[in-house]
Structure 1
Amino acid sequence: MALQTSPEQPAPVRQIANAIAGWVDRLGAVWVEGQIAQVNRRPGVGTVFLTLRDSAADISVPVTCSRVLFDSLNPPLVEGAGVVLHAKPVYYANRGTLSLAAREIRMVGLGELLARLERRRQLLAAEGVFAPERKRPLPFLPHQVGLVAAPGSAAERDVLENSRRRWPSVAFRVVHAAMQGPRSASEVIEAVERLDRDPDVDVIVVARGGGSVEDLLPFSDEALVRAVHRARTPVVSAIGHEQDTPLLDLVADVRASTPTDAARLVVPDMAEEVRGVAWARERVRAVLDQLLLHEQAGLDSVRSRPALADPTSLVGARSEEVAQLLTRARRTLSHALDRAADEIGHQRARARALSPLATLQRGYAVLQDDRGRVVTSVGEVSPGEPLRIRVADGRVHATTDRVEALDGAGETHG
């Protein structure tokens, strides 16, 4: 039943603590899965204190177990181990803390661990976390490489030395993180997110040497997988050896079999690139030489043609042809002029034959009265009327004395 309290009748702390302890005590025992983050075994104390951490979230809960139960585990329980335990929630009223009292602890075996990882892989794959189309290509020559590794580890040394051996001027930003143990996943997540926020970092390498499945378990952590999936910078996974395949390898943009292989993938080999440039230069030079030879051969072929070998021969032939055409044109024009002159002469003779002046030159004359009208009949003239007579070389002014008419027989009538 709920406690009846009021500002006038408050309940003491012991009563509230005992009430909470009673409520928690009514809870039954539960099976819990997690990872041992801390083990505290105090000398002379019959209880071992543990910290159980969730594998996918930053949540932990204290656990207590008897020394007899702890010592009976085979293999021994160590930090970072995955366990399934049967425990009952317990509230300690004197300290005001809640913990799980372990009654049974089962170590997660390798087969069961792999089965859990496979189920996790299938769920993440169904969400599209490992989809190939989400993979980003690595830059050819990164401005700066971000490296996540354990401080002073062989993996860090392999990546740095091999990368600088391949490309001496490559720049690194190294962020150290625990690569084993209960804090590994959270520290690697923090390091990846820090490098992803840096605009100068073009690619991130997560490197660790080989180890057992349990040692590499943090790199299959769901939270780490999702953090890499959210990253905007390409990520290279260089965890363990060729046979090791944590889930980080599946979500990363590129998987390297070893840290040394990661150095080969991240930066190009300067010596190889120099050889490639030299080979390309020689190839371009050979192609250019071949092109010049082909064009020179074509030019020589054109120059060897008769028209270009002796240009005056073509000019001479054309000169003779022009001279012939000129002579023909002159002859044709001369003939045309002669025909035109003859035609003009004929037309002139014909015009002269039809001209009244020619008639006058043959002895004929034109008779006109004093008004200039031509007289064609004797009836148009009267005696004593002045007349003008037009002859070939001038006019004669005369006066009519008399007029005679001719009949049809040519006889004169007075």
Structure 2
Amino acid sequence: MTSARPASSGPSPSTAEQPWPVRTVSTKVAQWIDRLGSVWVEGQITQINARPGTRTAFLVLRDPSVDMSLSVTCSPQLLRDAPVPLTEGSRVVMFGKLSFYTGRGSVSLRVTEIRAVGIGELLARIERLRALLAAEGLFDPRLKRPLPFLPGTIGLITGRASAAEHDVLSVAERRWPAVRFEVRNTAVQGPTAVPQIIAALEELDHDPNVDVIILARGGGSVEDLLPFSDETLCRAIVACTTPVVSAIGHEPDSPLSDHVADLRAATPTDAAKRVVPDAVAEQALVSELRGRSAAALRNWVQREAHLVEQLRSRPVLADPLAGIDRRAEEVERLRDAARRDVSRAIAAESTAVEHLRARLTTLGPAATLARGYAVVQKVLGDNEPEVLRSVDDAPPGTQIRVRLADGAVRAAVMGRES
């Protein structure tokens, strides 16, 4: 027994041979969107179209951080009964349900409740975002990049023909006439401000000729300065590789861009002064440093010349031979003393030699011979004569040699006497 296949609840899958008609696709899209249910949506109103006598008012709700918007419809009575007048630029929270209109293929949010976001709520959100960014370390001074001393090209993001642009350009050119600017005019308030500023920021950051970027705007209300406390813009400033100077509003104003930027300037004029050095002041500083350097060099030369003069005035350098002259007499005296000591030693030794010579002369054989004695030697042929010590060694006929004081004679033994 075979089971029956349940009947399909919808149309069969579309193919090139069996495509779905437009009504089927529109119906399916409407069904899927209807499943989302009611939602709360926050944004900024950029357009209000409520014609008298009509039953529907049309609005455009835009995301302040990105270039995205949503069509909104509501009852004109809902706009008239709002506790706070709703105008273009108002920040609101809406409650409604998305609807897909099959007739024209469009999506809109049909709202039944609109709440204006008050200043207190906006400030509370900014404080929560401030705490979040601080916890992530985006306000850490160690992340701040130093500004170049003399930037070649300065990027400027500001409103078109605004007082902030005029202040920055005029002050910078007055301080350093050769300064160059890359100006990007964007919206500085309203729903389109954040996307335009981020796009200009990225463009200038990728320009290799731009050395520093100034983000400038004049004063304004809290609502006017809201784009500069936007989280997306703050993170874009942190992501820049080029130093960014935030000059938003006046001194009391402190949007979050001031904290994440590399430098906070109180006003656009202050930003120009902090980024561009004053040519006159720098020239005066160079002249002052040159004068101080010349004075320091002169003082050093004078000190060294005085030291050289002191060295030259010292006796050893004023008369280098004076020391030798003073020592010459002492050397002469020591030489004479040495000569006398040597002479005395030689005389003493000569006397001793004479005494020894006299003693040797007295004790020697020559002195004995001089007194009449003689030395008798026996002649032995070619051999050396031998001294006769006994008459037994000289029998008669023996050849002898008699040595006297003044010479020697030869003789022969004639006989022996006792």
Bucket of the pairwise TM-score, normalised by the shorter protein: 0.7 to 0.9
Matched residues in 2 for 1:193 and 1:392: separation?
138
1:380 maps onto 2:387 in alignment: no
Matched residues in 1 for 2:196 and 2:142: separation?
28
Unaligned runs of 5+ in 1: 405-412
Structure 1 partner of 2:121? 112
Matched residues in 2 for 1:364 and 1:36: separation?
166
Structure 2 partner of 1:102? 111
Identity of aligned residues (%): 52
Map 1:214-363 → 2, pairs under 5 A: 214-305=223-314, 314=323, 316-363=325-372
Per-residue deviation, 1:56: 4.2
1:172 to 175, 181, 194: 181
Letter in 2 for 1:214: E
1:193 to 192, 202, 209: 202
**Aligned-residue CA RMSD in angstroms?**
2.8
Per-residue deviation, 1:137: 1.4
Structure 1 partner of 2:99? 90
Q: TM-score, normalised by structure 2?
A: 0.86
Go from structure 1 to structure 2 and tell me whether the alpha carbon gap of 1:212 and 1:337 turns closer, same or farther (over 3 Å shift): same
Q: TM-score, normalised by structure 1?
A: 0.87
1:366 maps onto 2:379 in alignment: no
Equivalent residues, number: 405
1:162-188 CA-to-partner distances (Å, cap 9, x unmatched) read 112222222222222222221111111
Matched residues in 1 for 2:416 and 2:180: separation?
146
SS in 1 for 2:190: coil
Unaligned runs of 5+ in 2: 1-7
Q: Retained in 2: the 8 A contact 1:146–1:204? A: yes
SS in 2 for 1:202: strand
Q: Retained in 1: the 8 A contact 2:175–2:277? A: yes
Letter in 1 for 2:91: G
Q: Retained in 2: the 8 A contact 1:37–1:183? A: no
SS in 1 for 2:215: strand
Higher mean C-alpha displacement, 38-47 vs 248-257: 38-47
Go from structure 1 to structure 2 and tell me whether the alpha carbon gap of 1:403 and 1:82 turns closer, same or farther (over 3 Å shift): farther
1:15 to 24, 37, 53: 24
Matched residues in 2 for 1:11 and 1:44: separation?
39
2:10 to 3, 22, 33: 3
Go from structure 1 to structure 2 and tell me whether the alpha carbon gap of 1:362 and 1:221 turns closer, same or farther (over 3 Å shift): farther
Matched residues in 1 for 2:81 and 2:406: separation?
171
Map 1:22-37 → 2, pairs under 5 A: 22-37=31-46
Structure 1 partner of 2:414? 401
Higher mean C-alpha displacement, 191-200 vs 76-85: 76-85
Matched residues in 1 for 2:150 and 2:366: separation?
115
1:137 to 146, 150, 171: 146
Q: Retained in 2: the 8 A contact 1:56–1:221? A: yes
Higher mean C-alpha displacement, 74-83 vs 269-278: 74-83
Go from structure 1 to structure 2 and tell me whether the alpha carbon gap of 1:335 and 1:86 turns closer, same or farther (over 3 Å shift): same
Go from structure 1 to structure 2 and tell me whether the alpha carbon gap of 1:397 and 1:61 turns closer, same or farther (over 3 Å shift): farther
